Amino acid sequence: MKRPVLSCALLLLAALPLRAQKQYVREQQTWLGVFNQTRFSQRWGTWTDLHLRLHGHFVQDLFQGVARVGLTYYLTDDVRLTGGYAYVHHFPDGARTVGQPEHRSWQQVQWFTRFPKARLMQWVRLEERFRNTIRNNEQTSDYDFNWRTRYNAALFLPLTKHAFEPGGLQFLLNNEVMMNFGKEIHYNHFDQNRLFAGVVYQASKHSQLHAGYMHLFQQLPAGNVYRNQHTIRVFYFHNFDLRPTPPPIPVSAPQQNNVRYSQTFRG
């Protein structure tokens, strides 16, 4: 009995230095974002989103800016394919006193599921990330590259009788997980997880305001350094539908009688 107990004790003692080597960076940030999807034909539309992220007790310093655009193809009203470009600017942070630009191409499939008393939005996104290489605290002409995959699921549950109609409130539970891959990724194949809970105000049929709390947990490139981030997140979503409204189909007298009969029969 003594040998197994001694072995377990030695394993626990050996694991302590490994745990001690992990470092956690604790941050408080505020994320502001505006999203737009514009549909201009039965099959085609555009995607735009803009972000400003602040840190240092939530609002003290600029952390990151993001501008993303894309072209969307509508397989159906609820299934959409999008591809586009994103520019990300990492503001000076810590020992890095210069900004770091990042260019991304991205591709995405997004789909919606409608339940009687809930809505579910999901997407899978692939990104190709080109980050400017910083040497001796200066930008260079070189870029680091890696791929990243993202899966995002958002569940909307009504809180008021208006539900998904204008003036309604909804509870939103949202989670997104991201994974890195590529030859330059060695220690952080897991990138980050973003868990959000908040409320949605249905401002109109085509716009929503989201506000709530997000916890972000990220493994940084060193592998043993993790970002543990508490975030206030406020997003505004707006959709435009620019498709022309089809004219009403003329109905002949016999057809009108049939319509009246069928409506009466259905009660």
Question: All domains of the chain, ordered by start, with CATH?
Answer: 29-244 (2.40.160)
Mean pLDDT of 132-159: 94
Rg (CA), the chain: 25
**pLDDT tens digits, 192-246:** 999 999 999 999 999 999 999 999 999 998 889 999 999 999 999 999 999 987 6
Candidates 30, 64, 34; CA nearest to 49 is 34
Cα 19 to Cα 127: distance, rounded to the nearest angstrom: 32
Cα 175 to Cα 231: distance, rounded to the nearest angstrom: 14
pLDDT at 205: 93
pLDDT at 191: 96
Q: Which residues of 184-213 are buried (b: 16+ CB within 10 A; e: fewer)?
A: ebeebeebbebebebebbbeeeebbebebe
Dihedral sign, CA of 146, 50, 95, 21? Answer: negative
7-11, 132-136, 155-159, 220-224: segment of lowest average pLDDT: 7-11
pLDDT at 96: 85
